[in-house]
Structure 1
C-alpha cells in the first residue's frame, strides 16, 4: 500500500422501528396476521405489523401503538421475540434493524385496518412464509412458529407494560 494508511468505512446501523407478529389460536393451531401494504414501500406486498419508534417511546411501546394504529386491536399479550428484522438499503447505504415482538390476541377482536394497508388475512405459518414480501421475513416466521406457536414462550420474554 506504499505506506499510505488504508481507511475503512463502516456501514451505519439504524434501529428506528419495530416489527410485530400477531398470533391468534384458531381451532388447534396458531394463525399469523398478515397485512397487504398500501403505501409505495413494498406496495401490495404481505407483511406483519411494523412501524417507527417515536421520540420518547420504548421499542415495546411503539410495538403496541403500531398494533393499535394498523389493526385496531387493543388487547395484546406482548413478548420480545429475541429476534431482529434487518435489511440493507443500497440507496442510502445503511443496515436497518428492528426488534421483533410477538403478540397473542384473542379471536374475538376484530381487525380494523388504517390507510397503510388494503387487506388483511389470518394465515397459517406456511401461507405466511409463502406470501412474505422479502427474504428474511420467512426466517422470522419460522423462528416465531418454533418458539411461540409450538410451545409456550419463556416468561422472561413477556412485556408487562408499566412494570418494565
Structure 2
C-alpha cells in the first residue's frame, strides 16, 4: 500500500431556500413540484445555481424571485447544508440552506421549472419531500425558525 488515496471533491455551486408564510396563525412551508428533466415530478423546496460574481445569499434572493415571483423575503442563513453524493460524477454537492419569511399577501407565480406548488404544514411537508435529507432540514428549520425566534446574527440584510 503506497499511502496515496483518491479524493471525492466537494462542490458548492448552488443554494437551497425554504420559504415560510404565516397562514391562519400557522407557519406553512412552500414546496414546489419540479417539471424539468432534473428531479422531474419531485416535490422540494427552492434550489438553484450561484451565478458568476454572486454571493450565495444573493443567489437565494434571485432564485426565489425567478422560481416563485416573490420579491420580498426576510432572509436568514440556517447554518445547514443540503448534501448529495453523485456516483456518476464522483463528487459531493453541498448547498447552503436559507430560510425566508414571506408576507401573507405575496402570491406565487411559478416559472417553467415547476408545475405545482403547495403551502404545507411542517408535518405535511416533511412527509412529502422526496430527497434524502430534506426532511432533516425542515425539522431543523421548524425548531430554530418557527418554534423559536431566529437569532438576529443569522439575518441577512438584503
TM-score class normalised by the smaller sequence = over 0.9
Which of the numbers 32, 35, 48 marks the counterpart of 2:32? 35
Q: What stretches of structure 1 move > 2 A for 4+ residues in a row?
A: none
State which drifts further: 36-45 or 60-69: 36-45
Deviation string, structure 1 residues 121-149 (Cα, Å, up to 9, x no partner): 00111111111011100000000000001
How much does 1:6 deviate? 2.8
Task: Please list every run of 5 or more consecutive structure 2 residues that lacks an aligned counterpart in the other structure.
Answer: none
- Residues 17 and 52, structure 1, Cα contact 8 Å, conserved in 2: yes
- Residues 42 and 133, structure 1, Cα contact 8 Å, conserved in 2: no
Task: Please list every run of 5 or more consecutive structure 1 residues that lacks an aligned counterpart in the other structure.
Answer: none
Q: Are 1:61 and 2:58 counterparts?
A: yes
Which of the numbers 61, 65, 90 marks the counterpart of 1:93? 90
Q: 2 CA distance for matches of 1:136 and 1:69?
A: 24
How much does 1:28 deviate? 2.2
Alignment-derived partner of residue 72 in structure 2:
75
Alignment-derived partner of residue 8 in structure 2:
11
Which of the numbers 41, 44, 68 marks the counterpart of 2:41? 44
Aligned length: 158
Instruction: Name the Cα RMSD after superposition.
Output: 0.7
Q: Are 1:119 and 2:96 counterparts?
A: no
Question: Which of these two proteins has the greater Rg computed from alpha carbons?
Answer: 1
